Amino acid sequence: MNKASKTGWASPNWNWGYAVGDAHDLAMTTRSKLRTENARKTFLANLAAGSVDLEEVKMVFALTVQLANHRRQAGPLNDVLMRMAAVSYEGEDGPTLLASDIYAAISTMPNDDARQEFAATAQVKDAELAIGIALVTINFVEAGL
């Protein structure tokens, strides 16, 4: 179990968007771990194989969307990130709602071929699949987080 699984978005110590808190600490570790394109390719392959914890996947999604937003490429995925920061995707129905919101957000974004390729090879479903498709959509492997 990683640190995101132990604390998470609903934790009072999470503090997404601040320079102090569990989210900041985990963001630094995650960015370091995925600093190379090869590491991001491996992460995406592991995600597709179902061997990455959902909370870690959510952190990677958040950091990637945050960077894409700075490049003005996140589009409606930034709205999903804002709802994630507002703890809208925690609890029993959280992953299903997160997946639904991601699919709605990416439906108008380019990169259909890459999305279809990831979806065809992925062995995961629900939120993990939606996040993987979103990461491909905003060029996670090439652009980083």
The pTM of this model reads 0.86
pLDDT at 123: 67
Q: Which of 66, 88, 90 is nearest to 77 (CA)?
A: 66
What are the tokens at 35?
Answer: 């600093």
Domain boundaries, the chain: 3-143
Average pLDDT (75-79) is 91
Residue 1 — pLDDT band, cuts 50, 70, 90?
A: very low
